[in-house]
Amino acid sequence: MSESQFNDDAYWLEKLTPEQYRICRQKGTERAFTGEYWNEFSDGTYLCRGCAEPLFMSDTKFDAGCGWPSFYQPASKSVIKEVYDSSHGMHRTEVVCRKCGCHLGHVFTDGPAPTGLRYCINSASIQLKKE
């Protein structure tokens, strides 16, 4: 995949379902407790839906009770980018895939040890590669 494809709307419209496009490219969110992975705890690696970059490992996933897949750390700090988000009258930190810019969700400071972080991720933004 070339970097120019990541900036091509036609590429994303062909690659993603309408719901995935709304979330990944238009910074939407899925309703709580409705996404494919909110209650999934199989072993594996969660990849970016847009570019297949490994983003999160299953051993860092936990049940936050919020209805979205939650992780306490990314596979590597270099695979995600954090962006200040003041939309909807809130002050949050958005998480995007550093490689393709796919909107993943948000990170909060109410997670478990060892990081104290909760990466609250949309199922539509990731895909599980089971071990």
H/E stretch holding 38: none
Answer yes or no: are the C-beta atoms of 105 and 29 closer than 8 Å: yes
Q: How many residues are there in the chain?
A: 131
H/E stretch holding 47: strand 44-48
| Predicted model pTM | 0.91
Backbone CA torsion sign across 110, 115, 119, 120:
negative
Local confidence pLDDT in tens for the 131 residues of the chain: 555 667 778 889 999 999 999 999 999 999 999 999 999 999 999 999 999 999 999 999 999 999 999 999 999 999 999 998 777 777 889 999 999 999 999 999 999 999 999 999 999 999 999 99
Positions marked active-site: 120
Residue 87 neighbours by CB distance under 10 Å: 9
The helix/strand/coil state of 122 is coil
